[in-house]
Structure 1
Amino acid sequence: MPTNDPVRAHTMQMSSTPVRYGDLPKELPTDDPDDVLFNSQYGVRTIELNRPKKLNSLNGSMARKILPRLREWEKSHLANIVIISGAGPKAFCAGGDVAELATQNKEGPEGQKKSADYFALEYKLDQLIATYSKPYIAIMDGITMGGGVGLSVHAPFRIATEKTLFAMPETTIGFFPDVGGSFFLPRLDGEIGTYLALTSERLHGVQAFYAGVATHYLDSSVLAQLTARLSELVFKDHASLMQRLQLIDSTIAEFASALPSPDSSDAAKYGNLTGSLREAVDRTFKYDTVEEILAALQKESESADEKLAEWAKATQKTITLRSPTSLRVTLRQLREGRHWNISETFVLEHKIASKFMAHPDFVEGVTARLINKPPTKPQWKPATLAEVSPADVDAFFTMPSKEDALTLVTPYEGALPQNYTDYPHAIFALPRESDIQNVVRSYGRQGSKRVTEEVLNRWNHKAGVKEKVQEVLARKTVSADGKAISWKSKDANL
């Protein structure tokens, strides 16, 4: 593992993807001095995104400030915990400043190169967060989309509140769910990630917690108290990163109160992704082509369950409004991303993003949906799925050369492994279905109550665990004798 010696660019081969490391970016004289605010409170270091009028959208100036500050705090023995949040009442971070990128792209290859350089900067930051050597907490209070997802979802702690509004809306603007979405989304339970990616569906408040996007759910009124409490924590000098994270996890748990119903938000039209709706999501989004997914939704729209039929019709319509190129690239990205490690994810996404900067759909989508007032309907090119050939999609997934590959920030001593294929800190979120399945294998013969007790013990009686386990057992297990339970065969509910 590289240490804090003077930075020397070098190449590390991971899978077949060239992964190179190099210097931190430097601030520019033209950068806004106040778009990010940094503060210290005893052992806590805070990052506040400070563009509330722009919903704290991330730009190059902000990334160039945050990167060196994160490295500075890695070196400091006084900095124990990093907390990132957004200024104002509406947003954590509503994404990247895509309107500026679309304007640049109109300039041709030179402008497109500038846009690709912005994504390089953003992905360096996201990858550093994903492998950071110190505890990092993201407060997802308000709108958390696009670039805001990159600043939060790879963190060991992701706190949702009643104001959280999470989405990956990239296919709406002729792009793809980047910022590490290739890694994060396929590792959500079942086909939740595929569903969120292709539809841009929004998760409200506690929905983000139950879906696995957030690790904790707190009321926004306690956030200031939480920061104060975290600032008082004292770690033993020899404590490992995992031991520090465990102490933080138990501290955050002190502020958790009764969880609201996933259906409590008026905007959460279909409620939580559970029960029959969740089964329908897994049934319809399991396929590897967009056409098969649309056909499955068509079949679902004929369901005797009126709510499911309504959901299927609306979802089918939503997908047909998206960029056909974006849909094809996104679905392949999610299927391949299951096998990518954390660092190559950002290298390969940078290649895809650069390709999109030269594609007409990005400028068209941003202009139609975000710049035009009122928004207009994008005219995609190609206009239909049938016109997007396998060769068109392949062009987004060609391996970058060593010279063209994104250069990541050299990791600091104590950083997480650069090539992990699952989050080392996944234990701090709710248990995944696979975790529950493993417990069923060991304890299922003793009944659902015993399984629930075992998962609760393993997750330190975390708020929400009991509810999730009961929902998963109801949906995924069967009982032959009324007590012992076993996991359903793969196709039992399809």
Structure 2
Amino acid sequence: MADRASETTAEETSRGTAEVLFERRGRLGIATLNRPKAVNALTAGMAAAMLDQLTRWADDDAVATLLVRGAGDRGLCAGGDIVAIYQDMLDGGDASADFWAVEYRLNLLISEYPKPYVAFMDGLVLGGGVGISAHGSVRIVTERTRMGMPETTIGFVPDVGGTLLLSRSPGETGTHAALTGAHLSGADALFLGLADTFVPSARLGELATVLETEPAEAAVARFAGTAPPSVLAAQQEWIDACYASDDAGEIVDRLRTVGGEAVGVADTIETKSPTAVKVALASLRRVRGLTLGEALEQEYRVGLRFLAGPDFREGIRAQVVDKDRTPHWVPASLAEVSNDDVEAYFAPLGDRELKLSKERDNV
């Protein structure tokens, strides 16, 4: 007979795929993203499988706590499978829109999960990886954490609820993270409000074992350590002063005026897609006061517009496909992106709208 502490039910085995594995050990339900060579980049099939299994476990009295983690040693999740999105754009298909509709429902479910949802945010946690972790109730970072929403680098904007999360960060630090796409340490993630607890990476395996039998809050408290100082926290004074504007061009000018390390930040922003930078800034301003469901609806609207535009495709080509790191943005500068251009990204989609808020009202 198998040890009950490591029991995996037949039903749960059948729900898993090669790309995401589900098992129950004691009172712990575990979802393991299983694409280590791709740093567990999230595919449409993985998102659908997670949405289905997490829905099942929410009503399963045998499961007291959920744990999401990544296979391999490189990270939890490097984001969505942008190569698949690139191919879908070339094909003119709807696969990316369908993927996001499922992924965003998963993000919303995680935020409302009725049981402790523990995320091991170890190693790389980018884009879609933030969506499956930072909306959880028990968010753990380590000394190896490198988190970020690097979408402006590929001609896109933060999604998976990232605009809402970053809009709630102290001062304008979330705006800085969104526009630059910078990788953040575990300490920075704690400061921004994207995580709750620091645990040394070497102790995550032991913590996972304890979670099989003990309540999540008490177990995590036993393993919690002290994070190093946040670099971002030390920069907040000049970040707040520079990013207070609602105009991206003015933000860049202020950064150059401040001088010092802020000049390098201005240079970084100017390498990003000008359209993405301006739409990302507008997204963060518009999302304040919205629910997560409403924020995801807005991100879906914006995302579909980026699928139809040139910069998202060009950004993936330059960074991931051809890897020449020389994207040709259209328009090529912040000054060329008009307010009307930005507003068009937020226009209603008609029958294509994602209606998460309405779905919740009807439950």
* 1:346 partner letter: L
- Distance in 2 (CA, whole Å) between partners of 1:83 and 1:337 is 29
Distance verdict in 2 for CA 1:119–1:260, change over 3 Å: closer
Change over 3 Å in CA distance of 1:248–1:63 after alignment to 2: same
- Select the structure of larger CA radius of gyration: 1
Q: Which residue number corresponds to residue 273 of structure 1?
A: 232
Structure 1: runs of 5 or more not aligned: 1-30, 234-246, 263-270, 302-308, 412-416, 419-494
SS in structure 2 of the partner of residue 163 of structure 1: coil
Matches within 5 A, 1:407-426: 407-408=355-356
Cα separation, 2, equivalents of 1:380 and 1:325: 8
Deviations 1:391-429 (A, max 9, x none): 11111111343x322144998xxxxx87xxxxxxxxxxx
Partner of residue 254 from structure 2, selected from 292, 296, 306 = 296
Does residue 328 of structure 2 align to residue 379 of structure 1?
Answer: yes
Alignment equivalent of 2:216, drawn from 231, 241, 248: 248
**1:165 aligned residue:** 146
Measured against aligned partners, the alpha-carbon deviations of 1:337-360 in whole angstroms (never above 9, x if no partner) come to 112111111112111111110110
Say if 2:292 is the partner of 1:357: no
Q: Does 1:284 align with 2:242?
A: yes
- String of CA shifts for 1:158-197, please: whole Å, max 9, x gaps: 1001111001100000000011012101101111110000
Please tell me whether the aligned partners of residues 166 and 202 of structure 1 are also in contact (alpha carbons under 8 angstroms): yes
- 2:107/2:131 contact within 8 Å kept: yes
Is this contact kept in 1: 2:69–2:76, CA < 8 A? yes
Instruction: Name the structure with the higher helix share.
Output: 2
Aligned-partner SS, 1:46: strand
**Alpha-carbon contact 2:293-2:357 (below 8 Å) kept:** no
What displacement does 1:291 show? 1.3
SS in structure 2 at match of 1:47 = strand
Q: Is the 8 A contact 1:41 1:231 kept in 2?
A: yes
Alignment partners' CA distance in 1, 2:357 and 2:193: 28
Q: Partners of 1:379 and 1:405 in 2: how far apart? A: 30
Contact 1:325 1:382 in 2 (8 A): yes
What is the CA deviation profile of residues 213-270 of structure 1, one whole-angstrom value per residue up to 9, with x for unaligned ones?
Answer: 210000111112212222213xxxxxxxxxxxxx63333111123x2533xxxxxxxx
Higher RCO (Cα < 8 Å, 6 or more apart): 1
8 Å contact from structure 1 (residues 32, 61) kept in 2: no
Q: What RMSD, in angstroms, separates the aligned Cα atoms of the two structures?
A: 2.0
Shift of 1:316: 0.6
Change (3 A) 1:218 1:410: farther
**1:81 aligned to 44, 65, 68, which one?**
65
Q: Is the 8 A contact 1:57 1:95 kept in 2?
A: yes
> Is 1:223 the counterpart of 2:204 in the alignment?
yes
Mapped to 2, the partners of 1:261 and 1:226 lie a distance apart of: 20
Query: 1:37: Cα distance to partner?
Result: 0.8
TM-score normalised by length of structure 1: 0.68
User: Identity across aligned pairs (percent)?
Assistant: 38
1:43 corresponds to: 27
Aligned residues: 348
